[in-house]
Amino acid sequence: MEAGRGRSLDSMAFQWQALPGGKFHEGRGEEYSSWDGAATENRKFWLEIAEGRRLSFLTDSVTVRPRSWSLQERSAVEEYEPLPLLGEDEEVWGIYEWGGLDSLLETSQGSGPWEGSYYVSSQPKFGDAWLHVNEKFVGDPAYELPREECGVPKGDSINIPDLNEECDIWTALDNFRLQVVDHEHEHQNSLNKCIRTVNSSARFEAVESIVGETGAAAQDSARIRWTDGLRPALDSAMATNQVNERSADAFWWRRLSWVKANHGIKGHSGTDGCPQI
Ligand SMILES: [Zn+2]
């Protein structure tokens, strides 16, 4: 820890006295080591320059060093999987799941001069990120043709890429696959842009320095400074600002029937990176 004027107290023999929340506390310097927060508090200190001889009282602002919190950027692996239907016949072509952010930050009680004070004990975290693309772009499953198409006999079972290959419109299908992949990556890119903005802002500092007289009070502060203030910004960045994109015509298996038509990617009206935070 450091005194507000920059003096290191780590190696000093000192005593402290504090009155948090109306309770009197007194202790010695070594008890500071059990505090794991980043709080700034006004406390009184005195230094002993020789046994029994106090140099002076200090009334100073003491800051425990920041814990250097930062959000990790997301890096989802692209995976091809069967994806659920959205509605009656609307295919899901790709999904990006960002893992979500803790909405309630854990608090712990401090010790030493912060006895009775509560702080945010660990930084907000994400779950795992996933980037799924529909398996129909790359092969299985195969569907029976109700009539001959491009020389493939009626009754043959064939998958979407192979039928489009036979019909020489493979490029239209593959271009759309790449559009879907780019679209899903854009969710992650925009979120990571926002994460970099958050990391270079003073947001974490503000959360690290929260001190409340109860756990609930510390959580309320965390909600105001973190969850309420930033969660919507991260959500907006993850949503992205992307317009609708469509494929050229290609053959698709569209729940119980083959169609030759174009398909689209749902548009989003979020932001590219965070809105102003
Ligand atoms: Zn999307």
Cα–ligand 1 centroid distance for 264 (angstroms): 11
| Residues 89 and 199 reside in one and the same domain | yes
- Give how many domains the chain has, as a whole number: 2
Pick the more confident residue, 18 or 226.
226
Question: Which of 11-25, 114-128, 145-159, 240-254 bottoms out in mean pLDDT, i.e. has the lowest?
Answer: 11-25
Confidence (pLDDT) at 2: 42
Report which residue type is found at 48.
Answer: E
In a domain, 102, yes or no: yes
* Alpha-carbon distances, residue 245 vs 26, 132, 262 (angstroms): 66, 18, 10
Q: Ligand 1 centroid vs 263 CA: distance in angstroms?
A: 14
Q: Please indicate, yes or no, if residue 166 is contained in any of the structural domains.
A: yes
Q: Could you tell me the distance, in angstroms and rounded to a whole number, from the CA of residue 202 to the centre of ligand 1?
A: 30
- Same domain? For 54 and 85 the reply is no
Pick the more confident residue, 56 or 140: 140
Structural domain ending residue among the three candidates 31, 63, 95:
63
Given 37, 63, 89, the domain boundary residue is: 63
Q: Which residues of 44-59 are buried (b: 16+ CB within 10 A; e: fewer)?
A: bbebeeeeeeeeeebe
Looking at the fold, whether 57 and 94 belong to one and the same domain comes out as no
Establish if 71 belongs to a structural domain.
Answer: no
Alpha carbon of 258 to ligand 1 centroid (Å): 25
Residue 274 lies in a domain: no
pLDDT at 211 over 90: no
Note down the domain range covering 167: 78-269
Q: How far is the CA of 95 from the centre of ligand 1 (A)?
A: 7
Are 180 and 50 within one domain?
Answer: no
Distance CA(276)–CA(57), nearest Å, equals: 44
> How many C-beta atoms lie closer than 10 Å to residue 184's C-beta?
23
137 C-alpha to ligand 1 centroid (Å): 17
Same domain, 129 and 257: yes
Residue 157 lies in a domain: yes
Please indicate, yes or no, whether residues 209 and 90 belong to a single structural domain of this protein: yes
Q: Do 125 and 228 have their domain in common?
A: yes
Same domain? 159 vs 204: yes
Last residue of a domain, one of 14, 39, 63: 63
* Residue at 69 is within a domain: no
- How confident is the model at residue 74, as a pLDDT? 94
Q: What is the 268 CA–ligand 1 centroid distance (Å)?
A: 7
Of 3-12, 25-34, 142-151, 194-203, minimum mean pLDDT range: 3-12
Beta bridge partners of 108: 119
- How remote is the CA of residue 252 from the centroid of ligand 1, in Å? 20
Examine the domain organization and report whether 121 and 161 are in the same domain.
yes
pLDDT-based confidence at residue 179 (cuts at 50, 70, 90): very high
Whether residue 209 has pLDDT greater than 50? yes
Examine the domain organization and report whether 88 and 193 are in the same domain: yes
pLDDT band at 4 (very low <50, low <70, confident <90, very high): very low
Whether 47 and 122 share a structural domain: no
Domain contains 73? no
d(CA 112, CA 124): 25
* 186 has pLDDT over 60: yes
Mean pLDDT on 93-117: 82
Same-domain status, 34 and 159:
no
Strand partners, 41: 62
Q: Do 142 and 159 touch, CB atoms closer than 8 A?
A: yes
What pLDDT band is residue 53 in, cutting at 50, 70 and 90?
Answer: low
Q: Please give the average per-residue pLDDT across 121-146, as a whole number.
A: 91
Summary mean pLDDT of the chain: 82
The answer to whether residue 111 is domain-embedded is yes
Q: pLDDT tens-digit profile of 15-31? A: 665 554 444 555 665 55
